[in-house]
């Protein structure tokens, strides 16, 4: 019997690199998908390429959707600054409908591949409060997938795996290290430079750095010089 296939969303960050390693551990042949939604720069897509290769993905595709055209987020609109101090509520780095969109592209590709499993590295605990990182969102997308697709109508059960959803950042890192993930080339920073070096100050950098500290592991992140180190 052939191993089942899965589409794994790979952003180039720490979480999705771990999700990919977990999907492989579960025996899936992994097709890695990165979505270029008009991020401010491409360092994280380069990191995604390296992660997909290092984790043995069967292939890696990048799909482009121009969310920058609608703006509304610090991650796609250069007129909105990335906060460098903790904020309350849903932060301005929230990208409208981003995870819905990425899962939808994964769903379409999976249907063509004959895969029925999607993996996404969302995480509710250390997630900055994004609505589309919650378990109820994942469950709603899975329900939608059954109704939206030819495969679903024909009786296929879709599974949206979010294996990190209830883990802390430190637990995620320990899982990845157990599976041999090299986090050095991953880019989590919201405002990494062109070489993928992290600012050390944004919300994502703070969560990541604290994760390595709590896990008792050396932080392999490449930072942008002395102020961020």
Please tell me the distance from the alpha carbon of residue 102 to that of residue 105, in angstroms, as a whole number. 5
- Report, in Å, the least distance between residue 135 CB and its own copies: 10
Question: How near is the Cβ of 134 to its own copies at its closest, in Å?
Answer: 7
Question: What distance in Å separates the CA atoms of residue 87 and residue 20, rounded to the nearest whole number?
Answer: 30
**Token couple for 57:** 């993905």
Contacting its own copies within 157-186 (CB under 8 A): none
Between 21 and 122, CB nearer to its own copies: 122
* d(C-alpha 59, C-alpha 171), whole Å: 27
69, 80 in Cβ contact below 8 A? no
Closer by beta carbon to its own copies, 60 or else 201: 60
**Nearer Cβ to its own copies (79/194):** 79
CB of 14 to its own copies, least distance (A): 23
Site string for its own copies, 133-162 (x = CB under 8 A): -x-xx--xx-xx--xxxx-xxx--------
**Rg of the chain over CA atoms, in angstroms?**
17
CB of 177 to its own copies, least distance (A): 32
Report how far residue 57's alpha carbon sits from residue 29's, in angstroms, rounded to the nearest whole number. 7
- Count of residues that interact with its own copies, criterion CB under 8 A: 42
Residue corresponding to tokens 């990494």: 192
Dist. CA 189–CA 211, nearest whole Å: 14
Tracing tokens 């991953």 back to the chain, one arrives at 186
In Å, what is the CA distance from 176 to each residue of 15, 29, 223? 9, 18, 21
Min CB(99)–its own copies separation in Å: 7
Strands 29-36 and 117-119: unpaired
Q: Which residues 67-126 are close enough to bind its own copies by CB under 8 A?
A: 67, 69-72, 90, 94-101, 104-105, 107-109, 111-112
- 149 vs 214, which CB is nearer to its own copies? 149
- Residue 33 · residue 59 · CB < 8 Å: no
Q: Which stretch binds its own copies (CB under 8 A): 120-128, 131-139, 160-168, 196-204?
A: 131-139
Instruction: Give the footprint of its own copies on residues 15-74 (CB under 8 A).
Output: 61, 63-67, 69-72
Binding site for its own copies (CB under 8 A): 61, 63-67, 69-72, 90, 94-101, 104-105, 107-109, 111-112, 131-132, 134, 136-137, 140-141, 143-144, 147-150, 152-154
């Amino acid at each position: 019997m052939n191993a089942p296939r899965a589409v794994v969303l790979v952003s180039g960050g720490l979480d999705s690199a771990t999700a990919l390693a977990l999907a492989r551990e579960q025996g899936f042949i992994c097709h890695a998908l990165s979505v270029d939604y008009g991020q401010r720069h491409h360092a994280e897509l380069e990191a995604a390429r390296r992660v997909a290769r290092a984790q043995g993905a069967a292939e890696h595709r990048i799909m482009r959707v121009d969310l920058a055209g609608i703006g509304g987020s610090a991650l796609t609109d250069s007129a909105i600054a990335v906060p460098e101090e903790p904020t309350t509520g849903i932060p301005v780095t929230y990208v409208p409908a981003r995870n819905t969109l990425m899962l939808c592209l994964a769903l379409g590709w999976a249907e063509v591949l004959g895969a029925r499993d999607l993996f996404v590295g969302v995480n509710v605990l250390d997630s900055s409060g994004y609505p589309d990182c919650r378990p109820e969102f994942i469950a709603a997308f899975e329900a939608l997938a059954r109704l939206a697709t030819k495969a679903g109508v024909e009786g296929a059960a879709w599974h949206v795996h979010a294996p990190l959803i209830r883990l802390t950042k430190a637990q995620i890192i320990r899982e990845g290290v157990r599976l041999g993930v090299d986090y050095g080339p991953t880019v989590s920073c919201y405002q990494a430079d062109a070489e993928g070096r992290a600012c050390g100050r944004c919300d994502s950098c703070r969560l990541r750095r604290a994760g390595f500290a709590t896990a008792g592991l050396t932080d392999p992140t490449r930072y942008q010089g002395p102020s961020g180190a």
